[in-house]
Each structure stands twice: as structure tokens, then as C-alpha cells.
Amino acid sequence: MSPEAERHEVVIVGGGPVGLCLGVLLARAGVDVVVLEARPERTQHSRAIGIHPPGLRVLAAAGVAGTLAASGVQLREGRARSQGGEVARLDFDPPVLAVPQWLTEDTLEARLTELAPGALRRGVCAVGVETRGSGAVVRALAGGAEVRFAGRWVVAADGARSPLRAALGIPVRERRYPDAYLMGDFADASGDGAAAVLHLEPAGIVESFPLPGGVRRWVVHTDVLEPDPTPQLLAGLVAERTGAVVDPESSTMLSAFTVHERLAASMLRGRVVLVGDAAHEVSPIGGQGMTLGWLDAEAFAPLIAEDLRAARQGWEPDGALAWPALWARVAEGRRRAAAEAARHAVLNMALGRPLPPALMSTRNAVFRGLYRARAVRAWTSRRFTMQS
């Protein structure tokens, strides 16, 4: 016999940055929320580092923007270089905040615990979901035993491979790109301070970004996924292409990855909502995935809270969704924003591919000319910081 379900107004599956942020926004709105997270402990492996101004707006609503701003680096400038010369220089106003993802998640988790102690349940892995007329039930495993959580709303914030999305049979459009990257964090000896730097080199792009604590993230385009990445290999590629010195002994994180793009056909199925990477995974090159997910949370939190308020007052149109057209419009807007971010990321990846030196010089000369124009610089800055 199935165990009796624990009831909450909202059950969020996935305690990554997006699930935690949505949990905080809902808890702030007085909603009874539980967040189920499969991992017993947070991984210190850092993925996202860039928080764009619209993401900071959502984090401010969650009440954590100040804490994160105090722990991060304000990225106010971007420079593009090639073969030792400057190609372009951009100002970011307002700036992008650089913080390792684990620290962002820690901060959101602390905020959720402050607002709703016990709302985050670690070590609970969702294995299925059933939609009902007036809600949904999540089946999960915790310590080997089956547990069930019922909610008027269930939110799948369970990442790019989203087991919940698969359980609901929501189709996904998936693309793979030929690009591979090697990424690592090292002590910052670049002399570039708080600037983000793109080295557009014939052998492939090298990007570097400041992080708190005197650390710098390096990302290098590689021809194939490195099967055996080492800090020495990354430091060697950086030195070979740019002449910059990176001390492999100071490495604190290393990762090799290829690029996928996924877009779910729908973000809504009955009273289940997909948010974050579960709804749309975009290439990390461009660094907009986490902010996109927070913008989903910002869009859906008031709709969910409003529906719950109406339900608490007994307004229940036959258990069906009130204002279905509004929900559909919001979901469609979020899918369009994700598709736009994906296109932007594809351009960024194209910019970083290897090119024969003569072609690279010609292309960079064109860029140099274009970026003398203030309007082009302003347009690029707005796109880079997700403000257009």
C-alpha cells in the first residue's frame, strides 16, 4: 500500500538555484512550500558564476541580493583581445555580479531556512508524479523508503535532465553543438582586476572572469571533450594561446564539458510547472541559464500565490486552472525568452571557434571598427547583461 502523502500547498522538486529561489519567493508570500532535493549535501562544484541585473532584481525580491553583492565581485567591464591587441572594450552598467554558484545556493538555502524552517528536504529523490484535477502527487525515495508529497501545485526545478519532465512525457527539443570547453578556477595573476576578458585567438577562444577571494575562472575552447582534464593542461592552453600565466597548483575547480540545448514543448501540465533548466537548458557560453530560471520563478510565483489565495477563500472553478490564458501567455513569454538566450549563446559560441589567423585578423579588424561606435557598444552590453 502506498504511504499517505504529506500535504503542502506547493511541492518543488529540485533544490538548485531556481528551486530554492522559487521556494523563498513563495515562502515570502505566505505559501506553505516544501523543496525536495535528491543530493544529501550541496556539491562545491561551481557552474554558474554570472548573475545578470535582472537576476539581481529577483534576488532582491528574495531578500538575498545584499548578502550576495557583499560576497561577489562587481563585473563592470568586458575586454576583447586578440593576439596581444585590444579589439573592443565594453562597460556593464549596471554591473554583472560574479559569485560561485555554490555560494549563491548556500545563501538562498539559508534564506529559505530562515523563512520556512524545515522546508528543504535533502536526500529525497522524486521518481514520479501524478497529476490530479486539483493538484499533483510526487512519489519519492528517501533513505530507501517510498514517500509521497501532495500539493495543489508541483514545480519541476529538477535540472536539465528533469526526471519529472520525463515522467510527465513532455517532449523536449534537444540540440548538441560541436563545441567543447575546459574550465577551471585558479589564483588570479592576470592583472585584469574586475574585468571579464575574451581572448579571440586563432586556436579558439580563452575567456576569463574574476571571482571573489582573488580567484579567476578560465574557460578554453577545445577541439574535443578532454577525456582526462588536468589543471596543467588548462594552464598550458591558456599560456599557448594568450601568454597569460596560470599556476596549476592553485586550481580549485576543473571541469570539461560539451554543449546541449534543450527546450521543453510546454512549461505547464495541469498543476505541474517546469522552471529553470528543466524547462530550458541553454549553453553556458553566454552564462544566462541561472538568471533565466530566476526570471521563471519571478513570473510564476505571483500566479501560484494568487491561485492559492483564491483557493483558500473557496474560489475553485471545478478544480480547473483559473485564468488559463494568462498562465499560457506567461509560459509562452518565458519559452520565448529562453529561445532568445539560446540564440545569443549560439552566436557567442560561434565567436569562440578556431579560425585561420588571417581570417581572424580580418574579422577582428571589422569588430574593432564596429565597436568604436558607442551605439554598438551599448547594444552589446545590454544583450550581454540580459537587459534587452
Ligand X SMILES: Cc1cc2nc3c(=O)[nH]c(=O)nc-3n(C[C@H](O)[C@H](O)[C@H](O)COP(=O)(O)OP(=O)(O)OC[C@H]3O[C@@H](n4cnc5c(N)ncnc54)[C@H](O)[C@@H]3O)c2cc1C
Stretch in the footprint of ligand X (CB under 6 A) among 84-92, 109-117, 151-159, 335-343: 151-159
Phi-psi region of 382 (alpha: psi -120 to 50; beta: other; left: phi over 0): alpha
Q: Is residue 201 within 8 Å of 242, Cβ to Cβ?
A: yes
Q: What distance in Å separates the CA atoms of residue 83 and residue 86, rounded to the nearest whole number?
A: 9
Phi-psi region of 299 (alpha: psi -120 to 50; beta: other; left: phi over 0): alpha
39 binds ligand X (CB under 6 A): yes
Q: Residue 115 or residue 138: which is nearer to ligand X going by CB?
A: 138
158 binds ligand X (CB under 6 A): yes
Write out the three cell numbers for 310. Answer: 483564491
What residues between 198 and 257 interact with ligand X by CB under 6 A?
257
Name which position in 8, 24, 47, 119 contacts ligand X (CB under 6 A). 47
Q: Residue 355 or residue 386: which is nearer to ligand X going by CB?
A: 386
Q: Residue 126 or residue 304: which is nearer to ligand X going by CB?
A: 126
- Give min distance, CB of 305 to ligand X, in A: 20
Strands, DSSP E only, in the chain?
6-13, 33-37, 50-51, 73-82, 85-98, 120-122, 124-132, 135-142, 145-156, 172-187, 195-199, 206-211, 215-222, 253-264, 268-269, 272-274, 280-281
95 binds ligand X (CB under 6 A): no
Name which position in 23, 78, 289, 352 contacts ligand X (CB under 6 A). 289
36 binds ligand X (CB under 6 A): yes
Q: What distance in Å separates the CA atoms of residue 31 and residue 99, rounded to the nearest whole number?
A: 29
Q: Residue 49 or residue 73: which is nearer to ligand X going by CB?
A: 49
Name which position in 183, 263, 274, 295 contacts ligand X (CB under 6 A). 183
72 binds ligand X (CB under 6 A): no
Stretch in the footprint of ligand X (CB under 6 A) among 87-95, 276-284, 306-314, 323-331: 276-284
- Please tell me the count of residues contacting ligand X according to CB under 6 A: 34
Q: What distance in Å separates the CA atoms of residue 80 and residue 179, rounded to the nearest whole number?
A: 20
Residue sitting closest to ligand X (CB): 16
Q: Is residue 35 within 8 Å of 138, Cβ to Cβ?
A: no
Q: Is residue 202 within 8 Å of 355, Cβ to Cβ?
A: yes
Name which position in 37, 185, 226, 261 contacts ligand X (CB under 6 A). 37
Contacts of 227 (CB under 8 A, 6+ apart): 256
**Host H or E run for residue 291:** helix 289-312
Name which position in 284, 307, 346, 385 contacts ligand X (CB under 6 A). 284
What residues between 311 and 370 interact with ligand X by CB under 6 A?
none
56 binds ligand X (CB under 6 A): no
Stretch in the footprint of ligand X (CB under 6 A) among 74-82, 152-160, 301-309, 361-369: 152-160
Q: Is the peptide bond before 94 cis (omega within 30 degrees of 0)?
A: yes
- Give min distance, CB of 211 to ligand X, in A: 11
Q: CA triplet 381, 277, 266: central angle to 5 degrees?
A: 105
- Give min distance, CB of 36 to ligand X, in A: 5
Q: Give the DSSP per-residue string, 223-286.
A: SS--SS--HHHHHHHHHHHH-----GGG--EEEEEEEEEEEES-SEETTEEE-GGGTEE--TTT
Name which position in 23, 184, 276, 352 contacts ligand X (CB under 6 A). 276
Encoded one letter per residue, x for contact with ligand X by CB under 6 A and - for no contact, window 106-135 reads -------------------xx---------
**Which residue ranges make up the site for ligand X (CB under 6 A)?**
13-19, 36-39, 47-50, 101, 125-126, 157-159, 163, 183, 257, 276-278, 284, 287-291, 293
